[in-house]
Structure 1
Amino acid sequence: MPMQARDIETLIKSALPDALVTIEDLAGDGDHYAARIVSEAFRGKSRVQQHQMVYAALKGTMGGELHALALHTAAPDKA
C-alpha cells in the first residue's frame, strides 16, 4: 500500500519537531515523492548526515511502503 504524504510529514515532524516540511507527490501514485525539509537540527551537519536523520525518522519505510523520496534538506539560514 502506498504511503500518504501526510504520513511522511508526520514521521519527519515527530523526529524533527521544528521542521518545515513540504511534500510533493511526483508521479501521483503515492510511491514517488520529493521532500523539502528545513530544520535547525541540520545546522553543522553534512548533507549525508541530514539525509540519514530523515531516513531514521522514516523508521524503515524507505524501500517498503515508500518507494522513492528525493530529499532537499537545509538549516533555516541555508534554505
Structure 2
Amino acid sequence: MKAKPYLQAGALEIVDGHLKGTFDVESMTKAALVTVRCVERDASRRPTIALVLGELKEAYSLQLAYLASLGHSG
C-alpha cells in the first residue's frame, strides 16, 4: 500500500489500529503532512531540515499535551 495518497488527504487509515486512542489526531496529522512534503519528487519543493524539525517539535508538543490530558507520562 502506498501511504502518500492517504497522508495527502489527511486520512489516518495507515496508522496501526493498535495505536487507536493513544495519539493526538492533530499531532499525527502534522507529522504525516511534513512526511509527505519530505518525499516530494521535486527536491526544490521539499522542506528544509529546520522546518521539518520545527513541525515535528510542534507535533511532539501536541502529543505530550494529549498524553498529559489522559494522565499518562512520557
Q: TM-score, normalised by structure 2?
A: 0.30
Larger Rg: 2
Higher helix content, 1 or 2: 2
